[in-house]
Structures are given as structure tokens and as C-alpha cells.
């Protein structure tokens, strides 16, 4: 919709993970370096955690794009609590077909696959995204699978990526043996204020626009509202560009961001809810005064997809339209 007005080759703030737009600030660079180290050093287990929308999946996809030819990667990205047929999921992750349900036969098929990979001097890595959904029983099954060996060499490496709850799960007494196998762990924090500015500009430039479309005042409000979570930043920026397009604005200022926040209402964050009361000077209070939703063109109203995304990121208190 707005690409032509702002000179984009594509939308810069898509909600979908896209490694080509990856911004490697200090914290994301550290996380990626540890992922890469865990992969190349054949460390036992690697665990990366972070809040919803912090960029974990994008890092994983970037890692997959960087893997060497001697690495065979299996990816499970749609985990859920009822993973009762773990071996079937694992075999599918490595593109291995099966036509039986017997657990012993499934285990033997996977064992033979790993041994064959090892014989061909290939390293097998199983990456599990959204690993916080796995039950302790499934995590223990994964540990047992990682015990498969050839010539006393372990032939399967695990990389678990998940939300902060994963750390709590792994701290339970019943998973002591699993914890002892973790060689690399890192928690991916939110972006800093400076990184938020750099992140927005990076994605704009990657999309083909050399202009600094967002004013510093706009970015300040985006940072406060998003609390530095990349997916939340994307939602705010993408919606703001739609608003700017509707109003034929060539730059995105604080007023437009305030209009976006008016649509998302009080669901952004506790920090934003108290922003006006925490600031004492009149100018700051005026800066966060939100316009009436009626002033927003209908073309700019949030889509159902955006509303669902906002609910996931910010809660369930969006205004109903």
C-alpha cells in the first residue's frame, strides 16, 4: 500500500521472521555468536530464551542460512503440549519417512539415520523452536535421544529456543540430568533505546529507502510503548506507515505514533499507561496526549491480523471497533 510513497522495494516491518532484515545489535550478535559456537563446537545442548517477539526465530532462520554442507539440520517449529509421538515429529523434521507406529521401530529408524549421517561425516542438529511448550517427559525423551552414539561419539546435538518459561521448566529437580548437558545458554533481552533507533533505520534501509522516515520523537514513543521488543516495534511502525500514507505524510512523527497508540489503546505496556503521570513538565504531557480515534481515517484501522498480533504481544485490552 505505502511502498511507492516511501520508496520501498518491500514492506520493511513485516510480522513474519525474515533473516534478510536481521539487525545484529550487541545483544542479538551475542546470541547469534553463541548459537553458532554451539553448532560448530558440537556442544551438547544449547538453550536460547527471550520474550515473545524478541527475534529468536529470526536468529534461528539466519543460523539455518549459514550452516555448512556437513551439517544436517532438523527443525521443529510447531511444538505443543501434547507431543505424544515425539519420534514421529523428529523423523519428519529430518525429512525421514516412516510407515509404522511401533516406538521401538521408530527409535531404530532414527538411530540408523543418525549413524548413517555420522558415517558420511555429517553432523546432525535438531532445533526446537517454542520449546517452552514441551512437557518435562518430552524433554527427558529428547535427552535420551541425544545419547545415541557411534564409536563413543554422540551423534545428535540439540538447540532449544523458547520463551522465558523454558528456563523455569529446566530448573525443575526432575530435569537435573538434562540441565547438566546444557553447554551454552543465553537469554535474549529487549533492544535498548539506541538499538531501537538503529533497528528501525536498518529495516528501512534494507527495504530500499535511504531516508530517515521516523523522527526522533516518534522513535522515542515507539521505544517506550514497545519496551524494545522487535515484533512490537514492527507492528507500531508498519501501522504508522499506513497512517502516514493515508495522510500523505512524507515522514512519521510523534503525532502519527500517538494516533496508532490510540487505536491500540491501553494494551501496549504498563509503562505507557503511566507515561503521562510520570512526566511532570507540560511539554511532555502534551506529547503523549492521544487524539480521538474518530480522527483516524478508516483506511488506517487495525486489521484483525494486527489486532491478534497486538493481543499476543500486549494483552487482551484492545479497543473494539
Whether residue 309 lies inside any domain: the answer is yes
Indicate the pLDDT class of residue 178, thresholds 50, 70 and 90: very high
Strands 149-150 vs 153-154: parallel, antiparallel or unpaired = antiparallel
Same domain? For 33 and 182 the reply is yes
Whether residue 64 lies inside any domain: the answer is yes
Whether residue 6 lies inside any domain: the answer is no
What number is the average pLDDT over the span 270-274? 45
CB burial readout 70-97, b (16+ within 10 A) else e: ebbbbbbeebeeebeebbbbbbebbebe
Indicate the pLDDT class of residue 306, thresholds 50, 70 and 90: low
What number is the average pLDDT over the span 282-299? 37
**Residue 166 sits in which domain range?**
26-188
Dihedral, CA atoms, 143, 148, 151, 153, nearest 10 degrees?
-30
- Stated pTM of the model: 0.78
Same domain? For 203 and 225 the reply is yes
* Residue 78 pLDDT: 78
* Residue 88 pLDDT: 92
Q: Are 19 and 217 in contact (CB under 8 A)?
A: no
Asked whether the predicted pLDDT for residue 276 surpasses 70, the reply is no
What are the angstrom distances between the C-alpha of 20 and each of 23, 177, 257?
9, 37, 26
Q: What is the pLDDT of residues 17-29, one digit of tens each?
A: 899 999 999 999 9
* Residue 64 pLDDT: 86
Domain boundary among the residues 154, 188, 222 is at: 188
Whether residue 182 lies inside any domain: the answer is yes
Spell out the residues 6+ positions from residue 14 whose beta carbon is closer than 8 angstroms to its own: 21, 234, 238
* Residue 99 pLDDT: 84
Query: How far is 260 from 310, CA to CA, in rounded Å?
Result: 12
What number is the average pLDDT over the span 256-275? 66
Whether residue 229 lies inside any domain: the answer is yes
Asked whether the predicted pLDDT for residue 255 surpasses 70, the reply is yes
What number is the average pLDDT over the span 185-211? 95
Same domain? For 197 and 301 the reply is yes
Same domain? For 230 and 181 the reply is no
User: How does DSSP assign 142-155, residue by residue?
Assistant: HHHHTT-EETTEE-
Q: Are 252 and 238 in contact (CB under 8 A)?
A: no
Percent share of the chain, pLDDT over 90: 65
Spell out the residues 6+ positions from residue 99 whose beta carbon is closer than 8 angstroms to its own: none
Q: What is the pLDDT of residues 103-127, one digit of tens each?
A: 899 999 999 999 999 999 999 999 9
* Residue 243 pLDDT: 94
Same domain? For 55 and 161 the reply is yes
**Which of 98-107, 211-220, 290-299 is predicted least confidently?**
290-299
Percent share of the chain, pLDDT over 70: 81
Query: How far is 304 from 202, CA to CA, in rounded Å?
Result: 27
Same domain? For 135 and 228 the reply is no
* Residue 269 pLDDT: 46
Q: What is the pLDDT of residues 46-99, one digit of tens each?
A: 999 999 999 999 998 898 888 878 899 999 987 876 666 889 999 999 999 988
Same domain? For 41 and 175 the reply is yes
Query: How far is 171 from 175, CA to CA, in rounded Å?
Result: 7
Indicate the pLDDT class of residue 301, thresholds 50, 70 and 90: very low
What number is the average pLDDT over the span 187-215? 95
Same domain? For 32 and 170 the reply is yes
Amino acid at each position: 500500500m505505502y511502498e511507492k510513497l516511501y520508496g520501498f522495494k518491500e514492506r520493511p516491518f513485516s510480522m513474519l521472521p525474515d533473516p534478510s532484515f536481521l539487525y545484529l545489535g550487541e545483544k542479538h550478535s551475542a546470541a547469534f555468536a553463541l548459537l553458532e559456537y554451539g553448532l560448530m563446537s558440537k556442544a551438547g545442548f544449547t538453550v536460547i530464551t527471550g520474550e515473545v517477539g524478541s527475534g529468536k526465530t529470526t536468529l534461528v532462520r539466519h543460523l539455518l542460512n549459514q550452516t555448512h554442507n556437513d551439517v544436517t539440520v532438523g527443525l521443529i517449529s510447531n511444538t505443543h503440549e501434547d507431543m505424544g509421538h515425539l519420534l514421529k515429529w523428529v523423523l519428519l523434521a529430518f525429512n525421514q519417512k516412516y510407515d509404522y507406529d511401533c516406538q521401538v521401530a521408530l527409535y531404530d529408524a532414527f538411530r540408523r539415520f543418525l549413524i548413517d549421517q555420522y558415517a558420511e561425516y555429517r553432523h546432525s542438529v535438531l532445533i526446537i523452536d517454542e520449546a517452552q511448550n514441551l512437557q518435562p517427559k518430552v524433554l527427558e525423551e529428547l535427552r535420551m535421544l541425544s545419547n545415541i552414539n557411534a564409536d563413543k561419539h554422540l551423534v545428535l546435538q540439540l538447540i532449544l529456543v523458547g520463551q522465558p518459561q523454558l528456563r523455569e521448566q529446566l530448573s525443575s529437580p526432575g530435569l537435573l540430568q538434562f540441565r547438566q548437558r546444557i553447554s551454552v545458554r543465553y537469554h535474549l533481552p529487549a533492544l535498548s533505546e539506541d538499538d531501537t533507533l538503529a533497528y528501525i533505520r536498518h529495516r528501512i534501509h534494507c527495504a530500499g529507502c535511504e531516508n530517515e522516515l521516523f523522527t526522533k520523537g516518534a522513535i522515542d514513543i515507539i521505544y517506550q510503548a514497545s519496551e524494545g521488543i522487535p515484533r512490537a516495534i514492527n507492528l507500531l511502525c508498519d501501522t504508522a506507515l499506513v497512517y502516514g500514507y493515508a495522510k500523505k505524510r512524507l515522514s512519521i512523527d510523534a503525532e502519527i505514533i500517538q494516533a496508532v497508540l490510540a487505536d491500540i489503546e491501553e494494551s501496549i505496556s504498563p509503562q505507557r499507561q503511566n507515561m503521562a503521570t510520570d512526566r511532570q513538565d507540560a511539554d511532555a504531557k502534551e506529547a503523549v496526549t492521544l487524539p480521538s480515534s474518530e480522527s483516524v481515517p478508516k483506511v488506517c484501522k487495525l486489521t484483525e491480523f494486527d489486532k491478534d498480533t497486538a493481543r499476543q504481544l500486549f494483552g487482551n485490552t484492545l479497543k473494539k471497533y
